[in-house]
Structure 1
Amino acid sequence: MIKIEEIKKRVGEFHSAAPFPHLVIDDFVDTDFAKSLAGEFPVIDDSSLFTYSNPLEKKSALNDWNRFPAFTYKFFEYLCSEAFVSELGQLLGIKLYPDFGLHGGGWHMHPDGGKLNPHLDYNIHPKLGLQRRINLILYLSQDWQAEFGGHFGLWSNDPVSSRPLKLEKEVEIRFNRAVIFDTTYQSWHGLSRQVSSGGTNVRKSLAIYYLCDPPANTENRQRALYAPTEDQISNPDIEELIRKRADNQLYKDQYITKD
């Protein structure tokens, strides 16, 4: 179902990639299967989706297994299976565990104006106490054009400010392209370009995250930590939103604040 041999051949590239370990793999699953997955996404204004709309992020998402149609359900079941998780972990040299709750994963959709500031994912799973380690994202927007934006950006880390230093790489969104990356290297990532398709398309992806045993004295960050974009730097309202968005108690009230 998945190009596992491609990961095996390129595992050295994964570990040596900058600004943090990652791989970009095209034609990640069988083309017909990818089309079936793409066809199961809901429309962007479906009431079952959870909407994030604030100056840091504009997207919709869903991680409810009961809402997934057959192909999507089976795919996530496979991605969580002992066979796949064990093989992926062995290839990467990491003891990995699945997150059956798809915390932060599932369907992700970005409409026109869709954005996602550079951020660090949560570090410790709020229910399992395990460390988030590997992200796997599969892009499923058919007929996506480079001028629509939505590129996946990878930033280096500034050790002085503990914020993104430089946009080191942009990954253009292509149908059936996957990105696998390690989240434990101050791995700042997000959308380096806002989505702008003129209303003709939606940026669609499936995401799943794998966990590991946390090393001693690991930072207990249970919510994503965002950084301002260049036009938001020194904006006190944005800094306050970032603080609240990362707070375990205050984060829920921040999702739907408007630009």
Structure 2
Amino acid sequence: MNNLLQTENESLLREEINFDDLSSDFDSGDPFRHIVIDNFLREDVARAVAEEFPEFDGPAWSVYNNAIEVKKALNHWDRFPKNTYALFNFLNSDEFVAEMSKLAGVKLWADPGLHGGGWHSHAAGGKLNTHLDYSIHPKLGLERILNLIVYVAPDWREEYGGALGLWADNNGAPGELRKQISCMFNRAVIFDTSQRSWHGLPEPVTCPPGRARNSLAVYYLCEPRESAADRGRALFAPHGEQANDPGVLELIKLRSQVNTSQSVYRTNVNGESKN
């Protein structure tokens, strides 16, 4: 596979995408600003990046294994193969960030550290409770405002689950589930994280053995606004009977705090610490 490092003025996106034309659809998204773009990357780019994802059971990953999130992630640039590296470089470039600024309506900056971003993978049983993302970047002090997620699991079927749910806000808690977005191959979802944007997986992933819901994520930042929340970590909500489970509620509390989150995110589903 050839290296996808773009030459000057060459885009890794499908040629027809024009963010000026998409801004009105983005602004009218419900329950918060968002847009879904199919065939987001050039086909050769999407296929090349998909082929570079590591095996789900491989050693490269950071593991999240607890009652509110079961997934694997990796955001170390030195571990990305060449085509994945090229894509993240492109998505953090000044030219692409300027396009994202058109959607956000404010001047944006990239997060080259990919804090919370990078590769994400969910196999069978993978879960991600409804949550709000961190608001203020713990190292840069900027406000996180846009998420870009691109799904890169070829031949994914809707019956495997893993749809992205978008919930309305109900007085600071997730309310009605307004939309479910299937994670079809080469589909991108861009959404505003600053509008009490409750999102997650409504149900655990149910794909066959040997398959995984693979995606990549990049986040974009702006100068903190007066309306910005002060969250430095994600705020999760309990699902179903978890609302009556003191252990889960304590986990959510610890997970939401900068000084304790890393001590609990690897806790397994039975409450045993894996650190």
TM-score (normalised: structure 2): 0.91
Task: State which of 242, 259, 274 in structure 2 corresponds to 1:249.
Answer: 259
1:8 is aligned to 2:8 = no
- Secondary structure in 1 aligned to 2:72? strand
Amino acid across the alignment from 1:116:
L
Give the whole-Å Cα distance in 2 for the aligned partners of 1:144 and 1:238.
31
Question: Residue 217 and residue 7 in structure 1: after superposition, are their counterparts in 2 closer, same or farther (change >3 A)?
Answer: closer
Correspondence for 1:65:
77
Correspondence for 2:193:
183
Task: State which of 211, 219, 225 in structure 2 corresponds to 1:215.
Answer: 225
Question: Residue 91 and residue 142 in structure 1: after superposition, are their counterparts in 2 closer, same or farther (change >3 A)?
Answer: same
Give the whole-Å Cα distance in 2 for the aligned partners of 1:217 and 1:191.
27
Correspondence for 2:42:
30
Aligned alpha-carbon RMSD (Å)? 1.2
Deviations 1:149-190 (A, max 9, x none): 00100000111xx11011110001100000000000000001
Correspondence for 1:143:
155
Task: State which of 197, 202, 206 in structure 2 corresponds to 1:192.
Answer: 202
1:82 is aligned to 2:94 = yes
- Secondary structure in 2 aligned to 1:10? helix
Correspondence for 2:134:
122
In structure 1, list runs of 5 or more residues that go unmatched.
Answer: none
Structure 1 position 129, deviation (Å): 0.2
Structure 1 position 139, deviation (Å): 0.0
1:166 is aligned to 2:163 = no
* Range 2-11 or range 232-241, more displaced: 2-11
Structure 1 position 46, deviation (Å): 1.7
Structure 1 position 83, deviation (Å): 1.1
Structure 1 position 234, deviation (Å): 2.0
Give the whole-Å Cα distance in 2 for the aligned partners of 1:249 and 1:30.
41
Task: State which of 231, 238, 260 in structure 2 corresponds to 1:228.
Answer: 238
Structure 1 position 217, deviation (Å): 5.9
Q: Alignment length, in residue pairs?
A: 257
Correspondence for 1:52:
64
| Contact 2:37–2:187 (8 Å) recurs in 1 | yes
| Contact 2:104–2:146 (8 Å) recurs in 1 | no
Amino acid across the alignment from 1:98:
A
